Structure 1
Amino acid sequence: MSQNKIHQYKKLSKLAIRLRDDLNSQDFVLLYAYNGTGKTRLSMEFKDRGKKQLGQADTLYFNAFTEDLFSWENDLANNSERYLKINANSSFFNGLRQLALEPRISNYLSRYANFDYQIDYDNWRIIFSKGDTSHIKVSRGEENIFIWCIFLAICEVTLDDDQAYQWVRYLYIDDPISSLDDNNAIAVASDLAKLLKRGRSRVKTVISSHHGLFFNIMYNELKKHPCNQYFLHKNGEESYTLQKTNDTPFFHHVALLSELKKVSDSGNINTYHFNMLRSILEKTSKFFGFDDFSACIYGIEDEVLYARALNLLSHGDYSIYQPVEMGPDNKALFTSILEAFLTKYRFELPQLLAENTRQQPSA
């Protein structure tokens, strides 16, 4: 694996500027980042940067705020007239009524779900049905995929240069598949890539995700076009590192191991680090087709002790946001297990989190 330069940023606003600079020469930017890194806030910083520079919006985005443009009326009194309300004040819906997007929405929805819908433009509400039953309450996953289909339909008319969305220069898509199974994740990624490649001369796109499968598919679909891929990591409250991963699209597991190696070497090991180590072993066992994660340390001295320790210590209710330092014995055990695993599986660990990195924080 080639070592790519690490860029450090003290603020998300500076990172947003970096992404916009990338899109001067690239059609796409892909970001892999864990939940809690600040992906949604970064998408809003990116969006706000356009308003500050141009005095008007230039980014059509999909993120948690997009989903918040819809809310349920559950008819608690009669339990019969349920519908999804639309916040019509958002520019997101500029062309929804005039452009008659239902055929485009339905085209996508039929690939992912088996319910019907009707948009009541007079009252700005959506009524769902299945068979002869109307005003049904769809699941959260079905709701999210329906909203995603609206976004895809709007992307289509945007890329067709419709007047209602000519203000869009960028698309910013953050974690569109948070409630989907892997089959739908593959379908969504494939459909999105096909759409974006068709319209790459019209708009530039940033996609961020914590979903490894989705990220990998997007990488493989877009890598033949001008496209930068990054691993985004958060250090502390307001410090971020950006590592290019063009040669290693599934880089996040290596970065996680790098973090565990760093804390092991420093001795600053917290209880939740056992959960992280267990997660790595689980993923490795699936990759090799093992039935149990303990097979990853089979044949290692003290393998039974290590397996029992990982089972026990990874089941605690440990929060990354309220770290608790391990006792000396557990620290030593953690370090022994990690070293044994890294000795058996010789990962090339980048200095992603090294405190003595030569790169200076970007302004």
Structure 2
Amino acid sequence: MKPATPYGDLPTFAARLRALFDPEQGNKKCVLLYAYNGTGKTRLSMAFKDIGKQGDARDTLYFNAFTEDLFSWDNDLDGDADRKLKLNKASRFFDGLASLELDNRIRPLLQRYADFDFVIDAREDSDDWNVRFARTIAVPTENGGTRSEVLDNIKVSRGEENIFIWCFFLAIVELAIDGAEAYQWARYVYVDDPISSLDEHNAIAVANHLAKLLKREDNGLKAVVSSHHTLFFNVLWNEFGRNNKKVERLFLVKDDNAYLVRETGDTPFFHHVALLAELQKAADSGNLYTYHFNMLRAVLEKTASFHGFPGFSSCIEKDRDDPDGILHARLINVMSHGNYSLFEPTEMVPENKEYFRRILNDFRVRFPFNPELFAEEAQQANVR
């Protein structure tokens, strides 16, 4: 593994990220960046954006905490009825909102994740652009049946709000890829941790969908995606493929007064440690879902490849009543079948939870990782 490269500050590293997209210096299409919370990912995204900001000119569409701040709630504290999400009309982020029927692009994206609807009020002559939400519910009737009723002007949950803003952003990225005049200034897309307040199955779905969008053959935009979320990063890492030379995979850490950046390579060391810490945490808490078998299989397969075994089943400890490990191998095969199967999270039955814990614990005993690295990842997980 190559040694880490030190950078004195984030703007210097941001300039290096831009250089990676230069045909003469890297010719990359996408950079995947893993970093713990508190490292400075949001500040890095703003430093990247600022380099391309010359007067009124811009070149970066970005999604980060500042993007989320372009949306703010008016909860109608007086009437407690007309709740709406207000949009900052002054931002160039909303350039195409009034003329491009953006709501028709957002709606099919949102329907992947949520069951509520929305109406955008973005009239050119209005100073108050906003979004109102509605949800259709089933109401019991006197004859024992149900009827549909629409609840207007509802306040959605924080997770639902984040999903809506994320779909808003994706719709704009699609417009930029399609060459919409309002977004022809965009050359780069920078996405920083788009899954705050999302559950794990939405984290998988968001990563899968984002990768498909960025891999579109007609996509002329270059992209940086940074995250502290191991499952989200894992899905992205695998969606782009290990042999994709157009993708750079980096690990950023803060060390005293410097920022250290290391290429993760085909088998990033932190990647396995982070996944194992995530799996161990799930096993200890009992919050085990079928997609955790997918994560476990990914670790087993990469470990088997590293040690030269023909398949992941070679990394499974054999039980006395199952000397060939057939039961556990078949269980992992069945439970991890499909492409992130697991868009609809299903909790494991108690018996499978016990099998999962046994396979995981036996694996950690048989293939012990450096305990200091594992402890460091667990400590970082506790402060996220």
TM-score (normalised: structure 1): 0.70
Aligned to 1:347: 369
1:30 matches 2:32: yes
What letter corresponds to residue 143 of structure 1 in structure 2?
A: E
TM-fit CA distance, 1:251: 2.1
In structure 2, the CA distance between the partners of 1:163 and 1:241, relative to structure 1 (3 Å rule), is same
Aligned to 2:6: 8
The 8 Å contact of residues 230 and 274 in structure 2, kept in 1 or not, is answered as: no
Residues of 2 paired with 1:196 and 1:128: CA distance? 29
What letter corresponds to residue 11 of structure 2 in structure 1?
A: S
Aligned to 1:78: 79
Residues of 1 paired with 2:103 and 2:240: CA distance? 28
In structure 2, the CA distance between the partners of 1:148 and 1:256, relative to structure 1 (3 Å rule), is closer
TM-fit CA distance, 1:182: 1.4
The 8 Å contact of residues 80 and 135 in structure 1, kept in 2 or not, is answered as: yes
In structure 2, the CA distance between the partners of 1:222 and 1:256, relative to structure 1 (3 Å rule), is closer
User: Which residue of 52, 66, 74 corresponds with 1:50?
Assistant: 52
1:153 matches 2:171: yes
TM-fit CA distance, 1:347: 2.5
Residues of 1 paired with 2:278 and 2:199: CA distance? 19
Aligned to 2:107: 106
Residues of 2 paired with 1:279 and 1:125: CA distance? 38
User: Which residue of 40, 43, 57 corresponds with 2:42?
Assistant: 40
TM-fit CA distance, 1:250: 6.6
The 8 Å contact of residues 72 and 82 in structure 1, kept in 2 or not, is answered as: yes
What letter corresponds to residue 228 of structure 1 in structure 2?
A: E
| Secondary structure of the structure 2 residue equivalent to 1:126 | strand
1:127 matches 2:132: yes
Aligned to 2:227: 209
CA RMSD of aligned residues (A): 2.8
What letter corresponds to residue 158 of structure 1 in structure 2?
A: A
TM-fit CA distance, 1:345: 4.4
Q: 1 or 2 for the larger relative contact order (CA 8 Å, sep ≥6)?
A: 1
Aligned to 1:198: 216
| Secondary structure of the structure 1 residue equivalent to 2:52 | helix
TM-fit CA distance, 1:349: 9.0
In structure 2, the CA distance between the partners of 1:192 and 1:343, relative to structure 1 (3 Å rule), is closer
What letter corresponds to residue 251 of structure 2 in structure 1?
A: F
State the identity %: 53
The 8 Å contact of residues 29 and 207 in structure 1, kept in 2 or not, is answered as: yes
The 8 Å contact of residues 255 and 350 in structure 1, kept in 2 or not, is answered as: no
1:23-65 superposed Cα distances (whole Å, 9 cap, x missing partner) = 221000000111111000000000001125x872110000000
The 8 Å contact of residues 39 and 254 in structure 2, kept in 1 or not, is answered as: yes
TM-fit CA distance, 1:102: 1.3
Residues of 2 paired with 1:148 and 1:279: CA distance? 24
The 8 Å contact of residues 234 and 271 in structure 2, kept in 1 or not, is answered as: no
Any stretches of 5+ residues in structure 2 without a counterpart? 137-149, 297-362, 374-384
TM-score (normalised: structure 2): 0.66
Aligned to 2:281: 282
| Secondary structure of the structure 2 residue equivalent to 1:92 | helix
What letter corresponds to residue 245 of structure 1 in structure 2?
A: T
The 8 Å contact of residues 27 and 200 in structure 1, kept in 2 or not, is answered as: no
| Secondary structure of the structure 1 residue equivalent to 2:175 | helix
1:116-153 superposed Cα distances (whole Å, 9 cap, x missing partner) = 10001133010001121111000000000000001010
What letter corresponds to residue 75 of structure 2 in structure 1?
A: N
